[in-house]
Structure 1
Amino acid sequence: MKVATVGVHVLDTHVIGIESIPERSDGQLVERISLSPAGTAGGTAVVLSRLGAEVASYGAVGTDPVATTLLALLEAEGVDTSGLVRKGEHQTSASVIPVRPDGQRPAWHCIGANGAFTLDDLDLAALEGITHLHLGGPEFLGGEAAGRLLAHARSIGATTSVDLLAPGDPDMLAWVADALPHTDHLLPNDEQVLGLTGAASLAEGALALLDLGVGAVAVTQGARGALVASSTGGSPHVVEVPAYAVDVVDTTGCGDAFSAGYLRGLALGRDLPGAAALGCATAAQVARGLGTDAGSYSLDSVLDLAAATARTGARTGARTAAPAG
């Protein structure tokens, strides 16, 4: 599996053990502070690499120390960063994420160089030989440009997938609509699907996105796992895949981890529900640490986690596996 991850790359700073924000200029001791590569392209790139894929990232960063750190972390994970262009007039995208004891994580975020990335920054010839193109954050390119990129990827034999970053609403759907007919796998969360389509149910919303030309829709829905809608066999159908029960440390990056596990599952020959199950298991692995690069894991360890959970019957009703986000 040779993947180009294109789009949003972020450096996350996680602060764990936050129960409240100190008042005025007061300080507060916390359990831990850590840095990790993130974003709908960057976070997915890290997890795909750990799951055994060959990964090259494309996007934009600044020329600041944040970029130096982000690139070093990606490269340490085996991600080829030569396609990340430098934009000196913009800071590198970054987030600060205070993690509450229950795993919830509000965030402060700076868009930075992600907002300045265009197709002119990407040498399409560099994509030759890829088996997959994953576009994280098509809203930054706009639907027309995103559609051209995805169509090119398909023309060279690559499977395409898309993960949105922004909250869903009908205007956002209109903005990215031109990309959808060129998308083999759309990977939103439940709130995005309902917001984009205005549907009364998640299944109805996922099916509505199929009507816009998407090949399959795999939706994360927090502790409930995932929902997959497709027209395989000629008739639209929906399958739900349950979550895995884990002790949650931080849910940051679990959506990106689901995307990586799902795409890796497809490359390994799994059907759509089987790929979604691997996505849920990968997200469960990530939820046990801080960020997508927490701890040490591989495809084998994720499969072992899934197998162990299956033996104990502790799969449904999990606190997290493929969180919305």
Structure 2
Amino acid sequence: MKIAAVGVHVLDTHVIGIESIPEGSDGQLVETIRMSPAGTAGGTAVVLSRLGAEVSSYGAVGTDPIGSVLVGLLGAEGIDVSGLVRKDEHQTSASVIPVRPNGDRPAWHCIGANGAFTLDDLPLPSLEGITHLHLGGPEFLGGEAAGQLLAHGRSIGAVTSLDILAPGDPDMLAWIADALPHTDYLLPNDEQVLGFTGAGSLVEGAQALVAAGVGCVAVTQGAKGALVVTADEVIEVPAYVVDVVDTTGCGDAFSAGFLRGLSLGRDLRGAAELGCATAAQVAGGLSTDAGSYDLAKVEAFAGSAERR
């Protein structure tokens, strides 16, 4: 599996043990402060690399120290970062995520360089030889440009996948509509599907997205697991039982596990099971790159863990 992860790359800073925001200029001791690579392209790239794929990242970061840290963390995961362009006029996209004791995780986010990434930053000849093209955050490119990129991916024989960062909204779906007919696998969450389509059920919403041109919709449902819908079938896969530490990045981890499963020849159910098992590794740690999981560990977990 040789995959290009294109689009949103973010540096997340998790702060663990936040009970409240201190008043005025007061301070507060916390348990942990940790930085990690994230985003619908960057986080997925990290997990795919751990699962044995050959991964190249394409996107935009700033020339600031945040960008240097993000590029360094991605490179340490074995990802080819030569496709990440540095933009002097924009800061690197970053989030600060205070995690409360009950697991709630509000966030502060700066879009930064992700909003400045265009197809001009991605030389299409550099994609030759890939087997998969994953676009995270098509809303930043717009549907027409995203459609051009995915169509090019298909023209060189790559499997295409799409993960949307924005919340579900019919106007957002209209904005990226041109990309859908060129998408083999759409990887949203349940709230996005219902918000995009206004459907009365998740199955109906996923079916509406298939009718809009997507080949397959694989939807994450949090603790309920995943739902996979094509024009011919509906598959439900339960989540695995795990002691949850932090759910940040679980969607990206599912996407990576699902795509990796397909690349290994698994059917849709088997790929979704690998996706759920991969997401469980992330939920049990702090951020997408927590721990030291690999494909063998995830498969062993899936073979022995309890399911909901």
The residue that corresponds to 1:303 in the other structure is 299
C-alpha contact 1:137 1:165 (8 A) present in aligned 2: yes
Are 1:243 and 2:201 counterparts? no
Q: Give the corresponding residue for 2:111.
A: 111
- Which string of whole-angstrom CA distances, capped at 9 and with x for unpartnered residues, describes residues 88-121 of structure 1? 0000000000112232211000000000000000
The 2-side partners of 1:265 and 1:95 are apart by 29
Deviations 1:54-112 (A, max 9, x none): 00000000000000000000000000000000110000000000112232211000000
Q: C-alpha displacement at 1:216, in angstroms?
A: 0.2
Q: What amino acid is the match of 1:259?
A: S
Q: Work out whether residues 102 and 248 of structure 1, in 8 Å CA contact, stay in contact via their aligned partners in 2.
A: no
Q: What residue identity is the alignment partner of 1:278?
A: L
Matched, 1:139 2:157: no
Counterpart for residue 14 of structure 2: 14
% same residue: 80
Letter in 1 for 2:80: D
User: What's the counterpart of residue 315 of structure 1?
Assistant: 307
SS at structure 2 position matched to 1:84: strand
Q: Deviations over 1:263-299 (max 9, x none)?
A: 0000000111111110000000011111111011100
User: Partners in 1 of 2:192 and 2:22 — Cα distance?
Assistant: 32
SS at match of 2:125: helix
**2:183 matched residue in structure 1:** 183
Report SS of the residue matched to 1:295: coil
Q: In the alignment, which residue of structure 2 is the partner of 1:322?
A: none
Q: SS of 1:301's equivalent?
A: helix
**TM-score, with normalisation over the residues of structure 2?**
0.99
Q: Determine the C-alpha separation between the residues in 2 that align with 1:135 and 1:200.
A: 28
Q: Which residue of 2 aligns with 1:286?
A: 282
Instruction: Please give the TM-score of this superposition, normalised by the length of structure 1.
Output: 0.94
Structure 2: runs of 5 or more not aligned: none
User: Deviation at 1:160?
Assistant: 0.2
Q: What SS is found at the alignment partner of 2:222?
A: coil
The alpha-carbon deviation at position 237 of structure 1 amounts to 2.2
- The answer (yes or no) to whether the contact 1:104–1:251 under 8 Å persists in 2 is no
Q: CA separation in 1, counterparts of 2:261 and 2:115?
A: 31
Pick the aligned partner of 2:248 from 223, 248, 252.
252
- Aligned runs of 1:139-178 on 2, under 5 Å? 139-178=139-178
> For 1:19-30, what aligned pairs fall within 5 Å after superposition?
19-30=19-30
Amino acid at match of 1:315: R
Give the unaligned 5+ runs of structure 1. 317-325
TM superposition shift of 1:24: 1.2
Matched, 1:262 2:231: no
Give the Cα–Cα distance (whole angstroms) in 1 for the partners of residues 106 and 2 of structure 2.
33
Instruction: Compute the displacement of 1:23 (Å).
Output: 1.4
User: RMSD across aligned C-alpha pairs, in angstroms?
Assistant: 0.6
Shift of 1:26: 1.2
Shift of 1:187: 0.1
Which position in structure 2 is the counterpart of 1:319?
none
Secondary structure at 1:205 match in 2: helix
CA distance in 2, matches of 1:55, 1:70: 16
Q: What secondary structure, in the 3-state scheme, does the structure 2 residue paired with 1:14 have?
A: strand
Q: CA deviation at 1:151?
A: 0.3
The residue type paired with residue 225 of structure 1 is G
CA distance, structure 2, for counterparts of residue 124 and residue 212 of structure 1: 26
Cα distance in structure 1, aligned partners of 2:301 and 2:117: 37
Runs of 4 or more above 3 Å deviation: none
Question: What one-letter code is carried by the residue in structure 1 that aligns with 2:13?
Answer: T
